[in-house]
């Protein structure tokens, strides 16, 4: 019974974590594009939905299939990934201030 509750909590967390990761990646791509790619190559900026579409395309192309891991381990890895994305956006922002 305890294992079932743990698996259910892990699945519910993943239902929240996956869209949150996509949103953070999309915002990060949109911001980094505007900070670095647009000025460097003189191209127009990306809107949110364009960056969201690119994020979905890259997620689809980069999907290597499902791995059979514990849901609590996967949830932990998802949290680490979200934190890493936020840190990368902050580093990009700091670099954009120096450019």
| Dihedral in degrees, nearest 10, Cα atoms 21, 23, 29, 32 | -100
**Stretch 72-78: mean pLDDT, rounded?**
73
Longest dimension (CA), the chain: 58
What ranges do the domains of the chain cover? 1-9+71-99
Report if pTM > 0.85: no
pLDDT for 2-51, tens place per residue? 666 667 777 777 788 888 888 999 999 999 999 999 999 999 999 999 99
């Amino acid at each position: 019974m305890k294992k079932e509750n743990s698996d259910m909590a892990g699945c519910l967390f993943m239902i929240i974590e996956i869209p949150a990761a996509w949103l953070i990646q999309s915002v990060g791509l949109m911001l980094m594009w505007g900070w670095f790619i647009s000025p460097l190559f003189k191209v127009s900026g990306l809107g949110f939905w364009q960056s969201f579409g690119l994020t979905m395309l890259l997620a689809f192309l980069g999907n290597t299939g499902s791995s059979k891991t514990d849901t609590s381990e996967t949830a932990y890895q998802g949290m680490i990934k979200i934190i890493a994305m936020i840190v990368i956006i902050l580093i990009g922002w700091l670099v954009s201030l120096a450019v």
